[in-house]
Amino acid sequence: MPERQTPTVRHRRLSAELRQLREAAGLDTLETAQRMGWDRSKVNRIERSQWKRLKEDDIRGLCTLYGVTDEGRVNALVSMAKQAKETGWWVRYSDVLGPGSFVSLEAQASTLRFYGGMLIPGLLQTPSYCKALIRGVGVVNEEEIKRRVEARMARKEILERTNPPSVQAIVDEAALRKLVGSTLTMREQLLHLMLVNEQQLVDVRVLPDAVGAHPAMVGHFTILDFPHDDQSTVVFLDISREGLFMEEPEDIRGYTMNFDSLTEMALSPEASNDHLAHLVDELAE
């Protein structure tokens, strides 16, 4: 099987830049391919971020064709292509993360919005909760469990940056009441949510059972926004090992509306901490 391509933010930005330059030059993909001596599918792959390595000569050739005379801009595009080949921390855990496409985007996002239906979002999990969750889905090899926990904990680095992303997490009460691991594990997990809320590292909001049916009962999702206007928002559905990415404007609007509705239904961060404290007390009884 061919190696699966997993575009990073730099991939996506460079592809968008090249597409915009082509359109500004008044060329379609067929004309571009013919003038470059390529198959049309190559142009399509470049503009859809379906490339792994983009040669410097190809970028400079496209810039010449598109009439880009600013050498500084050309060099910036070449530099972006080189940076896109750089690997992130997740590559060390490719044995348990697979291609790592979600964590690569998560690491470069400016805003993250999580909805957790039946489990706590990965970025907010404690090691004990994470370990119990992994065992619960049938993983028995202790070395693999250790690697998976390490990989998930490594994701938290983004919360400790000088300029961390804005993170909002709406967690359904069903996830908070589900006993994952021991009572001690759940108490520790709930207290951790309270702590990140108090420290304002993450805006954590509880969606109480009392709201009844709501727009996200079909499952959990994440909305990722990026710092540059030419990098479109992405919705990630964690429905398999590699998950599903959605980028169509209609899908983005739908999930954004759902998240906004959930925000209105959820408790405030302060009320959420009160609710979490109540759940912690229940576990102590």
pLDDT digits (tens, 9 = 90+) for 82-95: 766 655 555 555 56
Alpha-carbon distance of 118 to 137, in angstroms, equals 13
In the prediction, which pLDDT does 4 show? 38
What are the φ and ψ backbone dihedral angles of 245, each rounded to 5 degrees?
Answer: -100, 135
What are the φ and ψ backbone dihedral angles of 167, each rounded to 5 degrees?
Answer: -125, 125
Task: Count other C-beta atoms under 10 Å from residue 238's C-beta.
Answer: 18
Alpha-carbon distance of 246 to 239, in angstroms, equals 12
Q: Is 249 helix (H, G, I), strand (E, B) or coil?
A: helix
- Tell me the whole-structure pTM to 2 decimals: 0.73
Alpha-carbon distance of 159 to 165, in angstroms, equals 7
- For residue range 245-278, list pLDDT tens digits in order: 887 889 999 999 999 999 999 999 999 999 999 9
